[in-house]
Copies of this chain bind each other. A is one copy, B any other.
């Protein structure tokens, strides 16, 4: 089986030829992307975007037009070690690879449909002719299985945008079909950014022990992801003290997600409607990202360390659990387990003293522990939408190498008195 990178090369090569569909539905773990693989052709002033656990869509030039090829298809995605989900995505990836382009570019995007049902692609937030907007039935016919369609337009804006289906939209987005469409400005903008990350938020319902998301679920989700990875499967974001860091967040789930970054105050600087004027920037430590929108924020750390970055809805930093189990806080459960098991076959005694030991519980196959991830000081007891911003004064091996756990200088840590 070819590696992911080989697939990307193969895919790129196909673009100029017969436009054969991608044939491989990747199940290998997504890469831990720490540094940014530049999409070719970016101006010198641009810092390429880093898509943690994701990839970029390659292109070929055709008479001045950047030609991309998206293949909508079933994709096996590892959310974290031990759990593979049967998602839908593009080009063997879920979510789809990032399209990274430059203001002024003319792009042609071929879309091949390998799904069992029809689809279309809407270019969310992008200014274009109405016939290229991708609302199936309204702006174009649906793209039937096996068909390949072309969209072509010139980019007359810059910002953090998205692509997603606008045909059986509820199902196809719940299955994971979406990707970033990031347009860099043609001319340098101040202040210059040193590190630039992009994270897609998503929530899913996958019945524990199964592998297919249920798109009928509207509210009671049980998996929460950054770039379709759950903690501890999420790659860290690596940067240096003093770096100006941009984080772009996209949300096509069913809920606003308040994304909280420890250790710094940041400014919200852009939406999918474009850059926010500086006079209108809001300082935050938590950016509440609405559905159907993107938010860019920018910050500079003056304290190095391993800083948590996570959704602040506490159930969204958990992996699947049974929301229907009885409340046992403070209840002595000795002797009642057997009785309860008659009515709730999968019942495990727990919660008498809280849930801090849940990471030790057994669980169905292909299901993540509810609270998990080991840190330097024991279990971190998280899941879902959680990762780390690793800030260091020096990164001798560069941004591409995980610097490991932070080493705390003496006298700067909480300490035990008794």
Determine the chain B residues whose CB is within 8 A of the CB of A218 once the complex forms.
220, 315, 323
Interchain CB contact under 8 A, B263 and A127: yes
B413 touches A137 (CB 8 A): no
Bin chain A's interface residue count. Answer: 35 or more
Q: Whole-angstrom distance between the alpha carbons of A375 and B166 in the complex?
A: 13
Q: Do residues A277 and B279 form an inter-chain contact, with CB atoms below 8 A?
A: yes
- A127 CB contact (under 8 Å) in B264, B306, B406: B264
- Minimum CB–CB distance from A154 to chain B (whole Å) comes to 12
Scan A243-265; emit 1 where CB is below 8 A from any B CB, else 0: 00000000010101010101111
Q: Say whether B291 contacts A312, CB under 8 Å.
A: yes
Are B150's CB and A415's CB within 8 A?
yes
How far is it, in angstroms, between the C-alpha of A418 and the C-alpha of B313 when the chains are bound? 46
- CB-based contact A133/B215 at 8 Å: no
CB of A127 within 8 A of CB of B265, answer yes
Is A17 interfacial (CB 8 A cutoff)?
A: no
Nearest CB of B to A248, in Å: 15
Q: Within the assembled complex, what's the spacing in Å between the Cα atoms of A142 and B380?
A: 9
Hey, which chain B residues are within 8 Å of A207, CB to CB? 327
Which of B136, B373, B378 is the one whose CB lies under 8 Å from A378? B136
Determine the residue in chain B with the shortest Cβ distance to A275: B283
The yes or no answer to A346 lying at the interface (CB within 8 A) is no
Query: A380 vs B140: C-alpha distance in the bound complex, in angstroms?
Result: 10
Contact of A356 among B118, B264, B416, B417 (CB under 8 A): B118
* Residues of chain B lying within 8 A (CB to CB) of residue A413: 129, 131-132, 139-140
Q: Do residues B265 and A148 form an inter-chain contact, with CB atoms below 8 A?
A: no
- Chain copies in complex: 3
Within 8 A of B (CB), among A305-326: 305-308, 311-315, 317-318, 321-323, 325
Instruction: Indicate whether A288 sits within 8 Å of B256 (C-beta atoms), given known contacts A353-B117, A378-B137.
Output: yes
Query: Which one of A5-13, A169-177, A179-187 is at the B interface?
Result: A169-177
Give every chain B residue within 8 A of A168 (Cβ-Cβ). Answer: 354-356, 371, 381
Given A138-B377, A415-B149: A283 in contact with B271 (beta carbons within 8 A): yes
Contact of A217 among B115, B147, B323 (CB under 8 A): B323
Report the Cα distance A137→B125, complex, angstroms: 40
Convert A389-418 into 0s and 1s, putting 1 for each residue whose CB lies closer than 8 angstroms to a CB of B: 000000000000000001011001111111
Asked if A86 is an interface residue, CB under 8 A from chain B, the answer is yes
22 cross-chain CB contacts under 8 A: A125-B285, A129-B413, A130-B304, A130-B406, A131-B413, A133-B305, A135-B308, A137-B377, A137-B379, A139-B413, A139-B414, A141-B416, A149-B414, A150-B416, A173-B314, A207-B327, A216-B351, A254-B314, A274-B283, A275-B283, A286-B293, A292-B311
Given contacts A271-B282, A330-B86, whether A169 and B317 have CB atoms under 8 Å apart is: yes
Contact A273 B265 (CB under 8 A): yes
Give every chain B residue within 8 A of A122 (Cβ-Cβ). 262
Nearest residue in B to A306 (C-beta to C-beta)?
Answer: B138
Interface centre among A147, A311, A323 (most CB of B within 10 A): A323
A68 within 8 A of B: no
Q: Hey, which chain B residues are within 8 Å of A127, CB to CB?
A: 263-265, 302-303
